[in-house]
Structure 1
Amino acid sequence: LNEIREEERALISREIHDRLGQSMTALKLDLKRMHSYIDTNPDAVKKLNAMIELVSGTIIDVQRISSDLRPGILDELGLVPAIEWYCYEFEERTGIKCILKLDNSDYSDSQINLTFFRILQETLTNVIRHAKASSVSIKLHQSDRGVTMSIKDNGIGITKEQIESYRSLGLISMRERVKQFNGTIDISSKKDSGTKLTIFIPSVNL
């Protein structure tokens, strides 16, 4: 099921990038060309500049949505650069500091890399929505036993009931992703001391 979802995401990402992205870029160029026709009308120039700014912002949004759906950097450069890029974007967008400790092991399995990346995305989304955190620590380590990723925020924490709730679709999706590789996911939290999520995938899958 997750594989089908990822194929759909990849298709939608390409469509957004190739069609919508190119159309918005063409529209921006057309708007810029209109400057020469309305230079004598200050109000029209002001309105046109506002339209160009709006289109420019929309192009950035389209690029971000496309990357979130299927980040090309993950396929092209691998897991560690993808995490570094995503955390940089996250920090710029939210102001929440990301503290990274990532080893440079060879993370060569594309499906496992995608699993770790999707869990990172979902966890950081939860941090924005619920944690009220100012920083997040992300660690990635490979040993003879397997690969471990931990994500810990310094926010308000969550209750045991929230962790175990079947209504938490994000947590259900994380567990499904890890289960297909015989991995484990552990979530621990204390009130006002943040939440820590630890994912482990054994080396038999690597």
Structure 2
Amino acid sequence: MTNAIARILRYKEQIGLKFRIVLFATLALWTVFLAGIGSWALFTNGLVKKQLGNKALAVVNTASIHIERLGHHKIKNPSDTALPEYKNIIEILHRLGARTPFVRYIYTARIAKDNRMYFIVDPEENRDIDGDGKISPEEMRQPIGSLYDEPPEKYAECMSAMGGHAAVNLNFVRDKWGEWISAAAPLHGPDGKVEAILAADVAVGEFTAQRKQATRLILSASFAAAGVGGFLFALALAVFVTRPLKEMELTARRIAEGNYSREIKMTGPAELGILVKSFNNMRNKVFTDRERIARDLHDGLIQIIRAAIFQAEYIAKKPDSCHEELPKLKKYLDTAIEEIRKIILELTPAKLIEKGLIPAMRHYAQKVKEGGGMDYAFETNLPDDFSSPVEEELIKIYLEALNNIKFNSAASKFKVDFNRARSGLTLNISDNGKGFDVDTALKRLDKYGIKNMTSRAEANNWKLIITSAEGEGTSIFLEIPAN
């Protein structure tokens, strides 16, 4: 009993450890999940690319209106750099570049009938962009009319703009200047026709920087959400899980103090249902065994010892009757020993079946034969090495039935049938004894054997049928479902 309660209390500590492991694993998985969701949206859907492309498109759409008003259509030849329109447009593009640091290049160009693109206004100064100490041709301002020497598919957005539709190319395009996301808008002349385009390039480095920034933001938000959500989840789970465990601990302490009245109601998660059910079954079995032992001691062993004491007192008063009365005293003491053995057997059913359930059942049937001088038959379709999770409860009912045959039946023979059937296990024990009225026996306070068998069967949801009548023997049928 004490060991069982200690195991329950230790199990509570194990649950606490498992709970902490589950909690931290949940937090980690939740964080990874949220970060994965953010990363998936970020990289798979191209959110950063789309954001930068839309920004570049907004820049060229807005700026194209101002550049058209400044007379961009007048700039056609390399000598037009002296025109005030050219200088004004250069200044506008410089300001625009300063206000939109994510745009690396912004310029105007024209696409000829041969689909080749030629620069018109390039605001770039001759400067060392790559930091190698030299001004390469790519780092020089492109003069009016200079050719953008790349195939047309690399400036598809510019072709679209030349057709009158602003567009953005979200696929990185690599040329001799670098790798870009590009947007372009049409520039209209006084006659309303498209005479050039305004283009803006966003470098891959800008995309990488913003992607890292967005990733950090999403990860930070994910960790924050996981932390807050994980804490709330852990708090709710802790209350949900520990409540039945605390109730189990309290009930275990009460049982240790001898109070068996409290039964735990299942209020926690379903995973604890097996533990709670096992605990309640343990409580019920301990309570039943305690009550049975008390009844057996009070109404069986104590009465026998009291009779032995009376017999001894009688012999003390009449020493001459020793020869006749001592055998009676010996019989009382032998009966007391048998009662003690019976109680011990009830307390240690596991030891009875160490060599197997079937050999144990045969062994105790043989004991009844030897003790009562009656014949018996034992039949089964089960092998000797058969075992079952319910064998301890089964053999208790079996021993109770054999004791009734031995001490109360006055039978000359009995039979045991123990078999496996479709419905489960069946045990039938019958004798040719004097029999009794079952209803009357169940009402009598001294018929503990029948009551013990009935209570054990009911506790396990087994089917028990006792059939008997005076002068017709007794049959006890027990059915244990397959599940």
* Residues 1:155 and 2:433 aligned together: yes
> Partner of 2:451: helix, strand, or coil?
helix
What is the 5 A alignment of 1:23-172?
66=344, 69-71=347-349, 72-74=351-353, 76-105=354-383, 107-110=386-389, 112-165=390-443, 167=445, 168-172=447-451
Task: Tell me, in whole angstroms, the C-alpha distance in 1 between the residues paired with 2:457 and 2:467.
Answer: 17
User: Is this contact kept in 1: 2:423–2:482, CA < 8 A?
Assistant: yes
CA contact (8 A) 1:107 1:113 kept: no
Counterpart of 2:465 in structure 1 is 186
User: Aligned partners of 1:113, 1:6: CA distance in 2, in Å?
Assistant: 18
Q: Which has the higher contact order (CA 8 A, sep 6+)?
A: 1
- 4+ residue runs of structure 1 moved beyond 6 angstroms? 5-8
Q: What is the CA deviation profile of residues 60-111 of structure 1, one whole-angstrom value per residue up to 9, with x for unaligned ones? A: 98x956556425241x22211110111112211221222101222564334x
d(CA) in 2 for partners of 1:139, 1:109: 17
Pick the structure with greater CA Rg. 2
Q: Distance in 2 between matches of 1:6 and 1:88?
A: 28
Q: Matches of 2:469 and 2:341 in 1, distance apart?
A: 33
CA contact (8 A) 1:78 1:113 kept: no
Q: Answer yes or no: is the 8 Å Cα contact 1:2–1:177 preserved in 2.
A: no
Deviations 1:110-140 (A, max 9, x none): 4x21222111211122123321101111110
One-letter amino acid of the structure 1 residue matched with residue 370 of structure 2: E
- The RMSD of aligned alpha carbons is 3.0
Question: Aligned residues: percent identity?
Answer: 25
Normalising by structure 1, we get a TM-score of 0.62
Q: In 2, are the aligned partners of 1:103 and 1:141 still within 8 Å (CA)?
A: yes
Cα distance in structure 2, aligned partners of 1:165 and 1:121: 22
Q: Displacement, 1:180?
A: 2.6
**Runs of 5+ consecutive residues of structure 2 not aligned to the other structure:** 1-282, 291-333
**Equivalents in 1 of 2:370, 2:347: separation in Å?**
19
What is the letter of the counterpart of residue 428 of structure 2? S
Q: Does 1:177 align with 2:459?
A: no
Return the offset for 1:191. 2.6
TM-score by length of 2: 0.28
Paired AA for residue 466 in structure 2: I
How many residue pairs get matched? 152
| Structure 1 stretch displaced more, 132-141 or 63-72 | 63-72
Contact map agreement 1:153 1:195 (CA 8 A) in 2: yes
Residues 46-70 of structure 1, C-alpha deviations (whole Å, 9 max, x = no match): xxxxxxxxxxx9xx98x95655642
Q: Is the 8 A contact 2:368 2:406 kept in 1?
A: no
